Amino acid sequence: MRVTFCCPDAMPHFTRGAIGMTPWAIFDTLRARGHEVQVVTTYHHGHGRPQEVQALQDRGASLVAFHAGAMPKNLTELVAQAVTEFQPDVICGFPHSGLLWTKLANPDIPRVCLLGDLPHWVIPLRWQYVNRSIPMDYGTMVQLHNQAIQVKAEYLPLLKSCAAVGNFCAHHTEWLQGQGVNCQHTRMAILDSVFPGWRRRPEDMPRNPKPRILLAGHMNGIATMSGLYFFAEDILPHLDVDRYDIHVCGAESMAKDLQTRFRPWPQIKWRGFVKDIRKEILQADIFLAPTPITLGLRTRLIEAMSLGSCIVAHQANQPGMPEMRDTLNAMLGVTGEGIARLIDQCAGDPAMRYRLGHNARNTYEECFSPEKAGGIMADMIEGVVKAKVKIAEG
């Protein structure tokens, strides 16, 4: 089977967050099953292009890459030409913008779309947190509502035209099904940071002088921004900060308004971009995900699960990731005071931290590993091709 896999937002790679790690897991699963895969994507100067290109080509990809900062005006024509030459059996887009890139390609080739956050949900949330200090007036509310309606009107018909759609978030999947989209919950797959069957041993647990808390994410991402606001305004006032060693890792600089919220706590260590986030997760006693909005699911939460971490998170993360179960593989809270108490509870109980991390690793292997989650997505893509062949054979 030949698959054209179009992922415009970033080149697939195993250490590039959701937009890189998930496409890599899908691509790698398809290649492991013996399929030929054409990858249509973008690259950025200064972000390891040679390494990313080499990794894809070493795995047997037929690569078509455009520079993100200088996109050609006839992009869709160039993509259509490349797709025509490759002659795929199916075109897969991640997210829906990948299918927009291939809109001039042969319409008889069945389309599959994989996506996470719903685009129209993000619009009002982004305004709310990017402009946190500015009250939202009625005119702005109407404008944001109209933008969301317009975006929804653009991508919903595209999804309905697909032979199959996979969504990584359980609550988004349910919403799309209600809109008439042939959608299934496919779960997000990320590459195993260690090896199948790995479990952290008690002697592998961190030995920090103070319990270390780690927060991680892109500083301009809505999930990270909302979580940092909640951390500063709702959790920290109830936490004895001097008792802990708090680290925040993430690319890009933090918004000035958000910086002011953390001035009372100079003890917090702002690490910026770190080359190996997995090492930071392993060294932390508690991985904290305080995102208080029901948006999607956090890639770093899955990565923390894969590394057997003790996770404390806001309950708003659970609708998109129902595999995260309170007191089983994570501790979930609703209020800032409640989450602060959960942090204290976990910090004072090494046996609890170990048990939660052990169960989290089990959950990763059962639900989010390339073998399981990647296999479900590959099954869906293969099923579309098999259905077309069956129809053709009458």
The domain segmentation of the chain, as residue ranges, is 2-191+369-392, 202-368
pTM of the model: 0.91
Domain 202-368 is in which class?
alpha beta
DSSP state of 137: -
DSSP state of 47: S
Same topology between domain 2-191+369-392 and domain 202-368: yes
For the domain spanning 2-191+369-392, the CATH number is 3.40.50.2000
Nearest Cα neighbor of 385 from 188, 92, 98, 95 is 92
Query: Which pLDDT score, from 0 to 100, does residue 333 have?
Result: 98
CB 93 within 8 A of CB 74: no
Query: Which pLDDT score, from 0 to 100, does residue 16 have?
Result: 60
- Cα–Cα distance between 262 and 298 in angstroms, integer? 23
Q: What distances in angstroms separate CA 178 from CA 102, 156, 296, one per listed residue?
A: 26, 12, 17
Query: Which pLDDT score, from 0 to 100, does residue 51 have?
Result: 76
Query: Which pLDDT score, from 0 to 100, does residue 48 have?
Result: 46
- Cα–Cα distance between 345 and 356 in angstroms, integer? 12
Residues whose CB falls within 8 Å of the CB of residue 235, separated by 6 or more in sequence, listed in order: 290, 336, 337, 339, 340, 343
Q: 10 Å Cβ neighbour count for 47?
A: 14
Secondary structure (DSSP) of 286-351: EEEE---S-S---HHHHHHHHTT--EEEEGGGTTT-TT--BTTTBEEESSHHHHHHHHHHHHT-HH
The pLDDT profile of the chain, 394 residues, written as one tens digit per residue, is 999 999 998 788 776 666 778 888 889 899 999 999 999 998 876 554 567 788 888 888 999 988 888 889 999 999 999 999 999 999 999 999 999 999 999 999 999 999 988 989 889 888 988 888 888 899 999 999 999 999 999 999 999 999 999 999 999 999 999 999 999 999 999 888 888 899 999 998 999 999 999 999 988 889 999 999 999 999 999 999 999 999 999 988 888 889 999 999 999 999 998 988 899 999 999 999 999 998 888 888 999 999 999 999 999 999 999 999 999 999 999 999 999 999 999 999 999 999 999 999 999 999 999 889 999 999 999 999 998 887 777 6
Query: Which pLDDT score, from 0 to 100, does residue 218 have?
Result: 87
Query: Which pLDDT score, from 0 to 100, does residue 17 have?
Result: 64
